[in-house]
Each structure stands twice: as structure tokens, then as C-alpha cells.
Amino acid sequence: MASVLPASNTSMRSDRNTYVGKSFVHVKNPYLDSMDEDVLYHLDLGTKTHNLPEMFGDVKFVCVGGSPNRMKAFALFMHKELRLTDSEEDIKDICAGTDRYCMYKIGPVLSISHGMGIPSISIMLHELIKLLYHARCSDVTIIRIGTSGGIGIAPGSVVITDEAVDSFFKPRFEQVILDNIVTRSTELDKELAEEIFNCSKEISNFPTLIGHTMCTYDFYEGQGRLDGALCSFSREKGLDYLKRAYNAGIRNIEMESTVFAAMCRLCGLKDTTVSKDEFLVQEDQPLEGQPPRTQTKTPCI
């Protein structure tokens, strides 16, 4: 899969402005064009060691998810769906030289793992977006697929995110940069969410809904769970928080959506997240007339 470039002293700045436009992936870093080489360290790729336009220039869809095994399974699934002529044995991990992430290319589709939480996915997104930029990709749609904790919904439901919110139920991503707090919008592509939702109607026994997704920095206390090593609140206070989240339109909780939304929209990527409810926060507690909930473990692509 690797397409290696010969050694070169040419700057990355050549013909860069030719590819600036709404449909092309772009970056928001003026320093990149002055660099002689851009090493995508955690993806085991680089602008001098690999011919990124040749390897990735035809990419139109990117699917990212936490688990390496899940994203490999998704790659094999896409190989069958696209009815590609090459063998499944030819599907290799492009990032095999590093143990941080995995990446598979199947025709115009990239399948990439991102680990758990905002720090892990943000590192991957920085390098993925630069990869798509250097490869001169256009009209790219990116979707985060994975699992989440449901709030007041039936076990096994699929939530398509129309708005990513933080722990205060606000559609924003706050990041400390140097000694400043920088706030960025977490707007997602609502048309894409509706398009995916309409597709789900064609599949039987596939409960799907559109709702807000809350992104937290922690799996346990940050999501109102009672079973972590630390718990600084009462069951009643945790349940009250989840009820308020439900009333604010939140239907699931995970740990990546706000930074995913913020970065992708800034760089010209059409984006949304699709999560299957794999567990329920504070099970057995009904929300707003919902039936008691039981914890479930459902396999998810």
C-alpha cells in the first residue's frame, strides 16, 4: 500500500493555493506551508516518505471509531459492500508501523481507529485532516461510528447526532491553548444526519433516532456513574443531572463528539456521529415516564 517518494528538498508550498475552496479539505495553520516536510508521526506517514495524493487522493468517506478491531471489521464489511475485486488479505493496516491507531483504505473509504476520549481522537484528527489536505481530497464526508451510553432510550437504539454538547449542555468545545480558554462551535451537518436517518428507515429492526450527544472528559463521574473508584455525588443528584440532560434533548453520552465536530467543521469536512447504545447510565432508573432500563451489551460495528 505504501507509495514512497524519493528524497526531495522541495517545499510543501508548491501549488497549494490551487486547492483552496469550499469542497477541499483545508487546514487553519499558516506555518504548515513553510515546512519542508510534515511527518504524521502517529499515523506512520509523511509528505516526504509517502506519495499522499496517490495513496489517498480518491478518498470521499472517512469512518472513525474507538476500537482497532471494530474498525478492521468495518473495513472488511465495506470491502464486501463495495464488491471490490481484490482479496480481503490485501487489506492491510496502513499505520502498522505505530501502535497508536489503525487505518484501512477500501476504495474511496478510510476506516480509522481513534482510541478513547478527547485527547486521543484529537491527535488522530490533527494528523488525519493534514493527511486529507496533503492528498488534496475534496468533498469528504466523515462519520464517527461507535458506542455510547443512552439516556431514556430503548437499549440497542442508534443515535444520530444533530448537535454535540458539553457537560453544561452547551454546543461548544472549550480547549486550553497556552494559558487561554478557546471556545469553538460544535455544529454538525444536520442534512447529513437527516440523510442517514432516512436510510435507516429502509432497515427493519433498526431503532434509530436523531438527538443531541453529550461529550464528557470522563467515563465514570463525568457521566453520572455510580460504579467508579471515586464517586462524589449521591444517586439522587446524579439522576437529577441525567433528567436535566434528557430534558435538554440529550439522548446519549460519549467522550469524543465535541472535539470531532469542532475540528471537522473548521477544516471543511461534512460530519456527524452515529452511535449505538451499548450501555445505559444509572440503569433501572426511569426518565420522564420512560420504562425502567436494564444494562445491555450489544455488539456494534
Give Cβ neighbours of residue 96 (< 8 Å, ≥ 6 apart): 44, 102
**Are the beta carbons of 249 and 176 closer than 8 angstroms?**
no
Burial of residue 190 (number of CB atoms within 10 Å: 0-12, 13-18, 19+): middle
Was 115 annotated as part of a binding site? Answer: no
C-alpha cell at 181: 480558554
In this structure, the number of other CB atoms found within 10 A of the CB of residue 215 comes to 25
Residues in the chain: 301
| Residue 32 DSSP one-character state | G
In order of 120, 134, 163, 164, 244, the CA distances from 170 in angstroms are 22, 33, 9, 8, 13
Nearest to 187 by CA among 275, 114, 274, 258: 258
Amino acid occupying residue 95:
C
Was 251 annotated as part of a binding site? Answer: no
Was 181 annotated as part of a binding site? Answer: no
Helices (H), 62-185: 68-81, 118-134
Was 146 annotated as part of a binding site? Answer: yes
Nearest to 85 by CA among 104, 63, 107: 107
Give Cβ neighbours of residue 129 (< 8 Å, ≥ 6 apart): 25, 27, 263, 264, 267, 269
How many CA atoms does the CB half-sphere of 226 hold within 13 Å?
Answer: 14
Was 145 annotated as part of a binding site? Answer: yes
Was 100 annotated as part of a binding site? Answer: yes
In this structure, the number of other CB atoms found within 10 A of the CB of residue 225 comes to 17
Was 152 annotated as part of a binding site? Answer: no
Torsion of CA 275, 206, 171, 124, to 10 degrees: 30
Residues belonging to the binding site for substrate are 223, 225
Residues belonging to the binding site for phosphate are 100, 144-147
Residues belonging to the binding site are 100, 144-147, 223, 225
